[in-house]
Amino acid sequence: MLPTELPPQRVWVFDFDGTLSFLVPDRNAAVLLPEAREVLSTLVRQPRQGVAVLSSRMLDDLITRIGIDGLYLGGGSGAEWFLPGGERRTAVRKTQRLESARKAVIPELEKLSDIQGVDLEDKKWSVAVHVRHVLSDDRTRVSEFLGALSRTAGIRLLRGPEVFEIQLLPEIDKLFGVMILCEILHFVPAPGSLVYAGDDENDALVMRWVLRKGGTALSVGRDPIIPGVAVLEHPAALVTEVRRLAGLNAGRQEDPR
């Protein structure tokens, strides 16, 4: 935001995969739900609203999947940001440690490639170990291997639907990303001023903080990630709830289906 602009009165932060898009077997096929595109585009046009999409995906990957002017886009769980005016910001003080961690950890993670069905996704600041196509017994092996690695290599292990997320720098998570966003926006959370939506353990770290600040946490999926969150079964249900929270339903015709 420009120095002369007032901070937003309300900030909305959304995870991407499983939150604004449905989870799909091929992660490269994930697309922004049309209804989500509509509500994001509407939110950014409202006065003094800060709207962000925050993902563990690489920033350039996220940018190509969103394509909405006025949004703040965070990649690498918020280690990298793309601002509405086109400016990029990176946690440059972390990059040297990141390279050291990558050299130590990536070769170890590559050992998992011997297990049938394991799919490693290198996202620069983290590595996702996808286990959607891994047999149950082998998933246990993967979990035990990663648990041991996290205890010896100084990394952080987070879990999501069908995936293990390795944070190569333990302090780089989505809570870190949200705090960076607040700094960028000169935004100090007050009760009722912050809304966060997500679907996995990385998102849960933010949700606890948001609830402590008196904000709203929206958990996408059948079961709540943590106590105290509103549960929306799927991304389309999330869109409906966001419209309600933002007061965007006035005069809107409901789909009779």
- pLDDT, one tens digit per residue, over 54-82 is 999 999 999 999 999 999 999 999 999 99
**81-108 pLDDT, tens per residue?**
999 999 999 999 999 999 999 999 999 9
**189-212 pLDDT, tens per residue?**
999 999 999 999 999 999 999 999
User: Which residues belong to the active site?
Assistant: 15
Pure H helices in the chain: 34-45, 59-66, 95-109, 136-152, 174-185, 201-212, 235-246
Angstrom CA distances, 211 to 92, 249, 252, stand at: 30, 25, 30
Closest-CA residue to 184 (of 90, 98, 94): 90
Q: What is the mean pLDDT of residues 233-250?
A: 94
Closest-CA residue to 172 (of 92, 65, 88, 83): 92
pLDDT (0 to 100) of residue 246:
97
Closest-CA residue to 171 (of 143, 194, 200, 202): 202
Tell me the pLDDT of the chain averaged across its residues. 93
Residue 249 pLDDT greater than 50, yes or no: yes
pLDDT (0 to 100) of residue 256:
36
Residue 1 pLDDT greater than 90, yes or no: no
What does the block give as tokens for 243?
A: 């419209």
Q: Is there a contact between 17 and 27 (Cβ–Cβ < 8 Å)?
A: yes
- Which domains can be identified in the chain, with CATH numbers? 10-91+172-246 (3.40.50.1000), 93-167 (3.30.70.1020)
